[in-house]
Amino acid sequence: AQSVTQLGSHVSVSEGALVLLRCNYSSSVPPYLFWYVQYPNQGLQLLLKYTSAATLVKGINGFEAEFKKSETSFHLTKPSAHMSDAAEYFCAVSQSTGNQFYFGTGTSLTVIP
């Protein structure tokens, strides 16, 4: 069975501070991992995905994530938070066949001016 756990349902950071959103996965096989962002009343937009080509993955809007197999983690980071980063962030894992995406419960990011 595959699943993801997002620690911290709410994270607040000051504008300009480091953003760290945590995601741990559970998978019996090498996973396919994704981070999505959702703005209010909108669908989900892909931030980045792990392709196994590199453990450090760069995405849009200055976000990046590092795949750590030993820790079964895929945490999302951004060096300097911007007000426009305030949104809900979801980590997801897909099966090897890619026929389902399993989402975490999400982390709501608040950026304090």
Partner 1 sequence: DTGVSQDPRHKITKRGQNVTFRCDPISEHNRLYWYRQTLGQGPEFLTYFQNEAQLEKSRLLSDRFSAERPKGSFSTLEIQRTEQGDSAMYLCASSFSGANTEAFFGQGTRLTVV
Residues that bind partner 1 (CB under 8 A): 9, 32, 34, 36, 41-46, 49, 51-52, 90, 92, 94-106
Q: What is the amino acid identity at position 100? A: Q
Tell me the closest approach of the beta carbon of residue 64 to partner 1, in angstroms. Answer: 16
User: Going by C-beta distance under 8 Å and a sequence separation of 6 or more, which residues neighbour residue 42?
Assistant: none
Nearer to partner 1 by Cβ, of 17 and 38: the residue is 38
Tell me the closest approach of the beta carbon of residue 68 to partner 1, in angstroms. Answer: 18
CB hemisphere CA count around 12 (13 angstroms):
2
Nearer to partner 1 by Cβ, of 14 and 55: the residue is 55
CA 97 to CA 54: how far, in whole Å? Answer: 21
Nearer to partner 1 by Cβ, of 50 and 78: the residue is 50
Tell me the closest approach of the beta carbon of residue 16 to partner 1, in angstroms. Answer: 28
How many other β-carbons are positioned within 10 Å of the β-carbon of residue 12? Answer: 12
